[in-house]
Amino acid sequence: MFIPATAPASARQNRTLEVSEISALLDRPLINLVFEAAAVHRRHHDPLRIQCSQLLSVKTGGCPEDCGYCSQSAHSKTAVEAEQLLSVAKTLEEARRAKEGGADRFCMGAAWREVRDGKDFDAVVEMVEGVKELGLEACVTLGMLAPHQAQRLQAAGLDYYNHNLDTGRSHYDEVVTTHSYDERLATLAAVRDAGIHVCSGGILGLGEAREARAELLAELANLEPQPESVPINSLVPIEGTPMGEEQGIDWSELVSVVAAARILMPRTTIRLSAGRRGLTEEAQALCFLAGANSIFMGDQLLTTPNPEPSTDAALFAKLGLQPASGS
Ligand code: SAM
Ligand code: DTB
Ligand code: SF4
């Protein structure tokens, strides 16, 4: 029996959510699901405020992992060339520009399997310190992390660590074979134990069934405590990758996952992440109504384009939305 959204959030956090009940939630009429999610959203968040993060790829391409969706995997022949780690100075210049553009969080991504202690990690720690000095929240996504590395990032002032579970456990082997689901969970535990906020979500459109989406939501919502941030990406198909020909998912599936995530994780920030260029304004509006309250802003994600800032500003104006950091 699914606990109705009118029950206090604590009621659902005290027990394990079953995949079957989340599947049933995703199968509900979309109109009812969005209505319920919108009600939960308003109880816990200002529905007019959207948290705005900006991304920068600080180490692009040449990744040893074989994630089938990714432009940066050395296993795929894509247009992305492998690069060295960006300098601290260049990174902080981009962070300054992001702040001027209205971002409140700066997220730095590296195409690494895992963090290795050494000069590159030292430089990333410096980047985190510099971003914090600019008065921005700092987030990094660097692949797998050992507990001592998480502690070092925490000491540098890191606010969030992004590490996505990407899809349900049953579908994971179809997506990546060079690391396991349990390794992803171990990194999330190291992040949590170090006292850094957890940012973890997934990608829709990897050829998964609805059941796998329910599994992903169950994994995330059953984490204790629940992640502070859950990015929901729609696959950006990349030519040359095993998933480059996948058909995009229908907007209604995306809205239902956003709504279910909001109902299951009432306090979490839910980010409408990669794939917004493929969505109409109306579909994005429904996602914001259903509880999405964060986006990536700026015209570039990691290696692919994002909506132009002026396009997002026009959408925000039409919907009466404001960046979370704005007055
Ligand atoms: N290497 C690190 C890792 O895998 O955790 C960090 C970088 S990785 C590019 C960060 C996340 O971006 C992935 O977990 C995935 O969810 C998302 N992502 C990558 N390529 C994508 C694509 N083509 N479409 C949508 N999301 C994508
Ligand atoms: C997340 O969930 N999405 C971001 C961020 N975390 C690192 C990455 C999106 C990448 C989209 C494809 C690209 O630009 O390469
Ligand atoms: Fe590497 Fe991350 Fe891309 Fe996987 S998603 S290939 S780990 S950069």
Residue spans per domain, the chain: 22-317
CA of 12 to the centre of ligand 1 (A): 29
Q: Which amino acid is at 111?
A: A
pLDDT digits (tens, 9 = 90+) for 234-273: 999 999 999 999 988 999 999 999 999 999 999 999 999 9
Chain segment 20-43, per-residue pLDDT in tens: 999 999 999 999 999 999 999 999
* Cα(97)–Cα(102) distance, integer angstroms: 9
Instruction: Give the C-alpha distances (Å, rounded to integers) separating 114 from 64, 109, 143, 192, 261.
Output: 10, 12, 4, 17, 28
User: Does an H or E element contain 12, and which?
Assistant: helix 9-13
pLDDT exceeds cutoff 50 at 108: yes
Would you please indicate which residues are annotated as catalytic (active-site) residues? Answer: 63, 67, 70, 107, 139, 199, 271
The reply to whether ligand 1 has any atom less than 6 angstroms from the CB of 111 is: yes
C-beta separation of 188 from 198 below 8 A: yes
Q: How many CB atoms lie within 10 A of CB 151?
A: 16
According to DSSP, the residues that pair with 105 across neighbouring strands are 53, 137
Secondary structure E strands in the chain: 49-59, 105-110, 137-141, 160-162, 197-199, 202-204, 229-234, 269-272, 294-297, 322-323
112 lines ligand 1 (CB under 6 A): yes
Q: Is 144 helix (H, G, I), strand (E, B) or coil?
A: strand
pLDDT by residue (tens digit) across 37-91?
999 999 999 999 999 999 999 999 999 999 999 999 999 999 999 999 999 999 9
Task: Provide the pLDDT confidence category of residue 326 given band limits of 50, 70 and 90.
Answer: low
| CB-ligand 1 contact for 206 (6 Å cutoff) | no
Position 282, amino acid: E
β-pair partners for 38 = none
Sign of CA pseudo-dihedral 22, 23, 29, 30: positive
CATH code of the domain occupying 22-317: 3.20.20.70
Both tokens of 137, joined, read 């929240």
Quote the pTM value: 0.95
